[in-house]
Structure 1
Amino acid sequence: MDVEQLRVTVYRIFAGTGRAPSAEDLMRELDAPRSQVDEGLRALAAARHLALDARGSITMAHPFSAVPLGFSVMGATTLWWGGCAWDSFALPHLLDDADPALVATRCPACDTPHVWDVTRQTPPPGDQVAHFLVPAAHMWDDVVHTCGHQRIFCSQPCVDAWLKRTGNAPGYVLDLPTLWRLASRWYEGRLDHGYIRREPAAAADYLRSVGLTGPFWGT
């Protein structure tokens, strides 16, 4: 099986339907046996193109998520789970159907609802802040945990209250314009054939270009 064709098929089904394709979906789309589909998915997971659960089903194919992690993203015709703040703000930049997108969440500290119209043109207005708990070097240690802890809060006091309640150490706080810049070009080309994930040096260059530096980011 052509693993690159499998990757593109996974992403395009996720983009078009808002849900992760099952092994049966992929077998039908690619006219391939289950053994080849499963082997291809494991290869893509090893290369960090997607994350699988214990049964081998697709959990995440960034910026798409098969499970709710605190965000919903509504486009013109499709509704997606937003895997995290980063991925939710990235979808409008990746998908024509999601420009603009209505991104919704609740503050993890006080449960206040928040919603933004996110577009490719300018960051959405708002004084809210995003808090990323897991440093960049360890984001793939448990990527679902990582994404579940990239959340948007009402303000720094809400971040502080949540950290105190949960016993977590402080991570990194971003304002909405910085979050929007981070998300804007991170996934460029991911739906196309020949996409290559950024190597560490290129990733560090990108992070610096959007204003993210220091030990948390490895830059």
Structure 2
Amino acid sequence: MNTPDSRRVRDLVYETLASEGRAPSVAELARRTRSTTEATQKILHELAEAHALVLTADGDAVRMAHPFTAAPMAFVVTPLDGHDDRRWWGGCAWDSFGISAALDLDVRIDTACPQCGTPIAYQAGPRLPPPAELAVRFPRPAGEWWDDVVATCTMIRTFCDRGHAERWTADNAPGGGYIAEAATVWRLAGPWYGDRLDPGFQPHSREHNQRLLDECGLTGPFWRLP
């Protein structure tokens, strides 16, 4: 996002995901910015290097632009307003709250508990916290999130309650991960993602994001950002 061209490409990716629930293609971005596909592809790779978005494994399309994802994942996010027919894939429990925060929109979130397979549907919004009993499990420490960010997001899941999250962890990843209340993750998503669609958005500094984690009580080595 160091040049007007990269800023325009970044903003078009976010605008399209927010309004249509899909990522624009490289050709579409090139057309809309009156550029070439080669130059646009170069900008996308630069944005990915800066963690401003995530490309597919082949590097030829946008995979994620947090909190949005262009591919089906474990969460479906829909507006509570019955006149708004948009819908989005949530990359994880945290990103699902982030979509609500970025759009300043009350939403319904649909997923399933990894432990028991029970469908879970809950409401959340900028001022509407999720049900108190829900728990969210983070699979790896903050310092490792971007080692494979898609895999990280895939495993940040919502469970029926803490007991289910603890049993899943004991069976599948003993001694690993971190279980938080869903309301804590919701509280983090607001300031983390709430400005993502702002015209003047600037990437948060590491220090800023670390402070957001601390303010939500997410402290200690697990939550230390790289």
Q: Can you list the C-alpha shifts for 1:117-166, whole angstroms capped at 9, x where unaligned?
A: 11111312240100001111110000000000100111223223322332
Aligned pair 1:21/2:21, yes or no? no
Aligned pair 1:212/2:218, yes or no? yes
Range with bigger deviation, 118-127 or 192-201 = 192-201
What SS does the aligned partner of 1:140 have?
helix
Please show how residues 22-171 of structure 1 align to structure 2 within 5 Å.
22-56=25-59, 57-75=61-79, 76-96=84-104, 99-167=105-173, 169-171=175-177
How much does 1:200 deviate?
1.8
**What stretches of structure 1 of length at least 5 have no aligned partner?**
none
Matched residue type, 1:136: A
Range with bigger deviation, 187-196 or 30-39 = 187-196
Range with bigger deviation, 190-199 or 5-14 = 190-199
Range with bigger deviation, 181-190 or 154-163 = 154-163
The two structures, once aligned, show a CA RMSD in angstroms of: 1.6
How much does 1:168 deviate?
5.2
What SS does the aligned partner of 1:177 have?
helix
Equivalent of 2:13 in 10, 13, 23: 10
Work out the CA distance in 2 between the residues paired with 1:204 and 1:126.
Answer: 25
Q: Which runs of 4+ in 1 moved over 3 A?
A: none
Matched residue type, 1:62: H
The aligned length equals 217
Identical-residue share of aligned pairs (%)? 39
Work out the CA distance in 1 between the residues paired with 2:51 and 2:6.
Answer: 13
**What stretches of structure 2 of length at least 5 have no aligned partner?**
none
Work out the CA distance in 1 between the residues paired with 2:178 and 2:109.
Answer: 21
